[in-house]
C-alpha cells in the first residue's frame, strides 16, 4: 500500500483554542507512558543489580521521556489519520490546538535529551537501545509499517516490547536472555491485544486507510490469528519460571491467567466480532456492539494479564522470593 | 491567526501557563543534572582536597 500524504501543519492555523501546557503533556501519551514505565521498572528491578536509587529513577525518567518523545513524533506524522478516527480525532494536533511543527520539535528535543542523559547518567548500551526504540517507533512503525502492511503492529510491537530490556541494560550494562524473555512476552502479547481492539474499531481504521488486519484480511482471519498468537503467547508466559526469573507466585499467575486468556481467545474465535461494519453509538473504547463484546473482553483482559505478569515479577523480586529455575531442575 | 499584539484573555492565560511549565521543566532539568553529577562523581566530590 502506498504511503499516505505527508502530514501538514496548516490545519493548526485554524486553531480555535490556544495551546495549553496540558496539550503538550497529551502529546506524550501519558497512559501509554505509564505502561512503558511499569515494564521498564520491572526489567530494572528483575536485573537484581545494585543501582543508586537516583540513577535508577533517572533511567526510568529517560525511558518515560523517550516514550513520550516517540508518541509526540507519532502524533505529528499521523495527524491526518488521527483526524479521521473517533478514538484519536480529539488529540491536540488533529483538533488544531497544537501545531504539527511544535509536536515535531517537542519529539526531537525530548528524544535527544532522554538519550543523552541516559548515556551520561547510566550507560551507552541503555542509551543506544533507547535511541533505537524511539527511531523504530517513530520511523519504522509510524512512517512506514503502519500505512503499508497488515503486519504493522506485529513488527512495530518490538518498540513497545523493548523497555524492560532498556531497564535491564540501564541497571547492569548487559542484556541477558531473561531481559529478552520479557521483551518476547510483550512482543507476542501485542498482536492479540491490538487485533482485538481493531476488530471493534475496524470501520475507523478502514475510513482512515490504515491496513489493520481486520480491514485487510477480514474479521474471521483476524480472530483465527488471535487464537494462534494466544496459543504461542500463553506458554511463553510460563518460561520465566524455567529460566530463574519468576517464582511460584508468578507461575501460578501466568498459568491461571493464561488459561483465562486462552478461553477468551477461543470465545472470540467462535464469535462474529468485527463482522458487521455498522456505526457505533458513541466514542467509548469499551462500549461496543453486542456482537463485538468478545473482542472487547479479550482487549480488556489482555491489559490486565500483562499488568499482572509484570506486577508479580516486580513484587517477587522486591520481596526477595526465590525464582524457580525449573529448567535447571529439569536438567539435573 | 489572531494578532499576537492584541491577544485574547484566553491566549494570555494559555501562554502564561506554557511559560511557567517550560520554566519549571528547565529548573527541574538543571537540578537533575546537578544531582546526577554529584551521584556519578560520588566520593570524589566530598573527599576532594585542594592542591
Radius of gyration of chain A (CA): 20
**A62 to chain B nearest CA, in Å?**
11
- Chain A residues with CB inside 8 Å of B18's CB? 19-21, 24
A18, B15: Cβ pair inside 8 Å?
A: yes
- Identify the closest residue of chain A to B33 by CA–CA distance: A117
Other beta carbons less than 10 A from residue B23's beta carbon: 10
Q: Do B36 and A13 touch (CB under 8 A)?
A: no
What burial class does residue A10 get, using C-beta atoms within 10 Å of its C-beta: 0-12 exposed, 13-18 middle, 19+ buried? exposed
Q: d(Cα A243, Cα A325) in Å, to the nearest integer?
A: 5
A18–B20: do the CB atoms touch at under 8 Å?
A: no
Residues A179-197 have pLDDT tens digits of 999 999 999 999 999 999 9
Position A327 scores a pLDDT of: 72
Cβ neighbours of A55 in B, within 8 Å: 36, 39-40
Comparing CA positions, the residue from A232, A311, A302, A331 lying closest to residue A42 is A311
Any B CB within 8 A of A2 CB: no
Q: Is the pLDDT of residue A153 over 90?
A: yes
Q: Cell 554529584 identifies what position?
A: B38
Query: Among candidates A183, A155, A237, which has minimal Cα distance to A43?
Result: A183
A126 and B CB contact within 8 Å: no
Q: Which three cell numbers stand for residue A304?
A: 490486565
Candidate from B14, B36, B39 with C-beta closest to A19: B14
The residues spanned by each domain of chain B are 12-39
The arithmetic mean of pLDDT across residues A253-278, rounded, is 91
Contact call for B14 and A18, based on CB within 8 A? yes
Instruction: For residue A173, give every residue at least 6 positions away whose Cβ sits within 8 Å of its Cβ, in sequence order, or none.
Output: A123, A125, A126
Residues of B in contact with A57 (CB under 8 A): none
Q: How far is A52 from chain B (nearest CA, A)?
A: 8
Complex ipTM value:
0.81
Give me A99's grid cell: 501545531
> Residue A258: which of A229, A223, A296 has the closest Cα?
A229
Question: Is any Cβ of chain A less than 8 angstroms from the Cβ of B26?
Answer: no
User: For residues A255 and B38, what is the distance between their CA atoms, to the nearest angstrom?
Assistant: 45
Nearest CA in chain B to A106: B22
Convert A263-307 into a string of H (helix), E (strand) and C (coil).
HHHHHHHHCCCCCCCCCCCCCCCCCCCHHHHHHHHHHHHHHHHHH
Name the helix (H) or strand (E) containing A119. Answer: helix A100-121
Q: Which residue of B has its CA nearest to A11?
A: B1
> What's the pLDDT band for A131 if we cut at 50, 70, 90?
very high
Mean pLDDT of A89-114: 96
**How much of chain B, in percent, has pLDDT values that exceed 90?**
55
Of chain A residues 89-118, which have a CB less than 8 A from chain B? 113, 117
Q: What pLDDT, on a 0 to 100 scale, did the predictor assign at position A324?
A: 84
When pLDDT is cut at 50, 70 and 90, the band that residue A289 belongs to is low
Strand blocks (E) in A119-244 = none
Select from A1, A60, A57 the least CA-distant residue to A35.
Answer: A60
- Report the pLDDT value the prediction gives residue A9, as an integer from 0 to 100: 45
Model pLDDT for residues A214-233, shown as the tens digit of each residue: 999 999 999 999 999 999 99
Q: Is the dihedral of CA A196, A201, A202, A204 positive or negative?
A: negative
Chain B interface, best mutation among A18, A64, A119, by max B CB count within 10 A: A18
Contact A113 B29 (CB under 8 A): yes
**In chain A, positions 50-89, which contact chain B (CB-CB < 8 Å)?**
52, 54-55, 58, 61
Give the residue-averaged pLDDT of A130-141: 98
B35 contacts A54? CB cut-off 8 A: yes
What value does the mean pLDDT of chain A take? 90
Is the pLDDT at A288 greater than 70? The verdict is no
Answer whether B36 sits within 8 Å of A54, measured CB to CB: yes
Model pLDDT, residue B43? 65
Q: What CA–CA distance (Å, rounded) separates A3 from A267?
A: 36
Amino acid at each position: 500500500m502506498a504511503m499516505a500524504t505527508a502530514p501538514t501543519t496548516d490545519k493548526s492555523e485554524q486553531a480555535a483554542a490556544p495551546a495549553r501546557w496540558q496539550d503538550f503533556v497529551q502529546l506524550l501519551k501519558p497512559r501509554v507512558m505509564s505502561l512503558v514505565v511499569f515494564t521498564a521498572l520491572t526489567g530494572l528491578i528483575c536485573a537484581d543489580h545494585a543501582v543508586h536509587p537516583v540513577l535508577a529513577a533517572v533511567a526510568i525518567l529517560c525511558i518515560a521521556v523517550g516514550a513520550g518523545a516517540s508518541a509526540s513524533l507519532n502524533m505529528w506524522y499521523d495527524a491526518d489519520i488521527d483526524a479521521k478516527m473517533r478514538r484519536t480525532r480529539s488529540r491536540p494536533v488533529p483538533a488544531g490546538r497544537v501545531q504539527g511543527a511544535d509536536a515535531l520539535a517537542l519529539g526531537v528535543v525530548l528524544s535527544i535529551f532522554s538519550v543523552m542523559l541516559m548515556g551520561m547518567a547510566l550507560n551507552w548500551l541503555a542509551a543506544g537501545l533507547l535511541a533505537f526504540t524511539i527511531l523504530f517507533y517513530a520511523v519504522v512503525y509510524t512512517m512506514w509499517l503502519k500505512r503499508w502492511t497488515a503486519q504493522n503492529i506485529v513488527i512495530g510491537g518490538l518498540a513497545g516490547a523493548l523497555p524492560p530490556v532498556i531497564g535491564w541494560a540501564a541497571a547492569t550494562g548487559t542484556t541477558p536472555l531473561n531481559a529478552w524473555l520479557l521483551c518476547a512476552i510483550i512482543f507476542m502479547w501485542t498482536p492479540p491485544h491490538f487485533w482485538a481492539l481493531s476488530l471493534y474499531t475496524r470501520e475507523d481504521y478502514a475510513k482512515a486507510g490504515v491496513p489493520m488486519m481486520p480491514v485487510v484480511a477480514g474479521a474471521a482471519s483476524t480472530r483465527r490469528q488471535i487464537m494462534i498468537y494466544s496459543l504461542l503467547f500463553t506458554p511463553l508466559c510460563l518460561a520465566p519460571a524455567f529460566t530463574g526469573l519468576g517464582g511460584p507466585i508468578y507461575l501460578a499467575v501466568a498459568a491461571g491467567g493464561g488459561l483465562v486468556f486462552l478461553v477468551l481467545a477461543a470465545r472470540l474465535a467462535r464469535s462474529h466480532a468485527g463482522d458487521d461494519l455498522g456505526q457505533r453509538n458513541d466514542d467509548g473504547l469499551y462500549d461496543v456492539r453486542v456482537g463485538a463484546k468478545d473482542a472487547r473482553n479479550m482487549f480488556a483482559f489482555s491489559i490486565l494479564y500483562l499488568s499482572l505478569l509484570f506486577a508479580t515479577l516486580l513484587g517477587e523480586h522486591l520481596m526477595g522470593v526465590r525464582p524457580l529455575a525449573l529448567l535447571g531442575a529439569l536438567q539435573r | 491567526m489572531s494578532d499576537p499584539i492584541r491577544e485574547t484573555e484566553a491566549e494570555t492565560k494559555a501562554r502564561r501557563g506554557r511559560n511557567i511549565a517550560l520554566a519549571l521543566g528547565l529548573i527541574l532539568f538543571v537540578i537533575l543534572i546537578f544531582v546526577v553529577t554529584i551521584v556519578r562523581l560520588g566520593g570524589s566530590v566530598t573527599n576532594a582536597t585542594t592542591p
